[in-house]
Structure 1
Amino acid sequence: MPPGGTSQLQIYTRSGDEGDTGLLFGGRVSKSDVRTEAYGSTDHAVSAIGLSRALATEDRVKDILLEVQREMFMIGAELATDPTNRHLLLEHFQIVDESHVTRLEKLIDEIGEDVELPPNFIIPGASTASSALDLARTQVRTAERRVVDLKTAGLLPNIHLLVYLNRLSDLLFMLARYEDRHLPFEIVTGQPPEPSDE
């Protein structure tokens, strides 16, 4: 017991040693179950977004990413709840709804006003900050695909989760471009500069 007499939180429980795991509000499923894959992928995305926030150079970007991480925790809680226990989820947690999707769309439009997109494909790697955001974007896309699997299995009562993830990947793309907005297009696209006519 540490100084002060407070017992230490035990990190390991051994309850998942056989390859299954507990859902929020009860029930157990395989660690390869579509629900586990779905909320596990969102957990991965939350961490990737956290890395992006740590590496971002713009306070505006940092603030947006922190709010997104909070909302992704809401998504993870919902995905980790069996539909039969949805009433318990609604008693204890806020859930993502159309208003959250609308907020992301507004952010995308606002960021778009400050960003000029290059005419060519963008090759990630122009800066550390934008690279982290592009990596987070691809992880959100993976999470989106896992949630599609959940929908296909009839285990997704809230379609707004899927729409949110779709918009979030677009927002992360635009935030990456915002971080690189002062760089020359040839650096952002990885293309050589256009030859001069002179």
Structure 2
Amino acid sequence: MKIYTRTGDAGDTALFGGGRVPKDHLRVAAYGTVDELNAVLGVSVVEVTDTQIRDRLEAIQHDLFAVGSILATRPRPDGSAHPHLPPLPVARIDEMERWIDAADDELTPLTQFVLPGGSAGAAHLHLARTVCRRAEREVVTLAAEETVDPDAIRYLNRLSDLLFALARLENHRAGRADVTWKK
């Protein structure tokens, strides 16, 4: 199978499950940003020094493939799920909340705004957090126009919170202080 197909040379792309849309369609922007987030998490995995954090990020990367494939698929007219789609990893939302709570238990309470930085791993996690927030905004925009599973929005919202907590945890475990905003 060749990497290039030439089918998108006119500026449109195929959706999973059928149909074509322009490459600047809201759906393409949403799943494209989820793909970008996955790539940024891949860089974060390389930079993070803590094994537990790396393992969690790798699990999330697999989740994001499912989220992206769901976003790349128009809902069926009867509302049923496409038979070849992976399930949305809804159970991970509660798990991410537990991970955030555990990180908060280990960290000192926040008293100042935290700037992206500290260790290389934490800086990359902060970058991933901002890409995650953009992905969430783009999915919300898509949901205003077309049907989107609301759990996809919940997943991305919780993930951005987790990435903030993990960035702080990576700094803490690496012996680096968070970079705080000085007025």
TM-score by length of 2: 0.92
Query: Structure 1 residues 38, 134: CA separation in 2 closer, same or farther (over 3 Å shift)?
Result: same
Q: Is the 8 A contact 2:112 2:181 kept in 1?
A: no
37, 50, 65: which one pairs with 2:29? 37
User: 2:21 aligns to what SS in structure 1?
Assistant: strand
For 1:19-168, list aligned pairs within 5 A.
Answer: 19-84=11-76, 87=80, 89=82, 91-96=83-88, 98-156=90-148, 158-168=149-159
What amino acid is the match of 2:153? Answer: L
1:171 and 1:112 map into 2 onto residues whose CA distance is 10
Query: 1:97 Cα deviation (Å)?
Result: 5.1
* Paired position in structure 2 for 1:183: 176
Max Rg structure: 1
What amino acid is the match of 1:17? Answer: D
Residue by residue over 1:137-165, the C-alpha shift from the partner in whole angstroms, topping out at 9 and shown as x without a partner, is 00000000000011100321x11000000
TM-score by length of 1: 0.85
2:58 and 2:42 map into 1 onto residues whose CA distance is 8
Q: Is the 8 A contact 2:48 2:54 kept in 1?
A: yes
Query: 1:190 Cα deviation (Å)?
Result: 5.8
2:90 and 2:29 map into 1 onto residues whose CA distance is 24
Q: Is the 8 A contact 2:41 2:57 kept in 1?
A: yes
Superposition RMSD in Å = 1.8
What amino acid is the match of 1:154? Answer: E
Query: 1:80 Cα deviation (Å)?
Result: 0.4
